[in-house]
Amino acid sequence: MEKKNKILNVEEIHTFYGESHIIQGLSLFVAENEAVSILGRNGVGKTTTLRSIMGLTPPRSGKITIDGEDTTKLPAHAVSMMGVAYVPAERHIFPGLHVEENLKLAARPGDGDNPWTLERIYDQFPILADRTKQDGSTLSGGEQQMLAIGRALISNPKIIILDEPSQGLSPLLVDAVTECVQNFCVKSGITLMVVEQNYRMALKVASRHYLMGTKGKIAGVATTQELNDNPQIIHDHLSV
């Protein structure tokens, strides 16, 4: 089997908030065209891990590389320019800008035969095409999540990082967002890392899962098949 390039590689990072040592020696990787999740209880450091990768809360030690280039000490805007699209749980839709303006602000030219363009985003998310001149901040929660994902895609990144994409959504909207993620990632082969409290969604969109324990440490790694075959693993790592 062909060995794939590691788009994201995290080696033994230690991240602090002030004097609080949140991430204590975390290592993980995401290969090209792979979809990976981080699963764990609330408060174990999942979002802090993403903030470390994005340069929003840089680690004090350890190393992070994007497509082989060291990004450990880069600020967030520089990490973004390296080809990392981050969709935070809060979505950060720009108020006062309509849907199309939110998308155009993030647009970057893409490589390959089928880059993500405004037209392709609208094909993938028809609801956004219907709301193109509507203020993005007035969309429903599910529509805002689709806009945030569309804004990530139109930057034509090397990897998309999603933080709790199902947060605050009804079960029906969770299903809709899950389907969108499946369509753009699994079917299109986009490299993805997702942090999710809703493990059912994570199992649908990712093929490999890091199980985060206390102190921001990885307690195990499992495939979707392994977690489906042994629900006790989920219970041990996610139950309160």
Per-position pLDDT tens, the chain of length 240: 346 799 999 999 999 999 999 999 999 999 999 999 999 988 899 999 999 999 999 999 999 999 999 999 999 999 999 999 999 988 889 999 999 999 999 999 887 778 899 999 999 899 999 999 999 999 998 899 999 999 999 999 999 999 999 888 888 888 888 888 888 766 777 899 999 888 999 999 999 999 999 888 899 999 999 999 998 998 888 764
Q: How far apart are CA 7 and CA 237, in angstroms?
A: 27
Distance, CA of 41 to CA of 198 (rounded, Å) = 10
CATH class of 6-238: alpha beta
Q: Domain coordinates of the chain in residue numbers?
A: 6-238
Q: What is the pTM of this model?
A: 0.91
Buried-exposed string 189-216: b where 16+ CB fall within 10 A, e elsewhere: ebbbbbbbbbbebbbbbbebbbbbeeeb
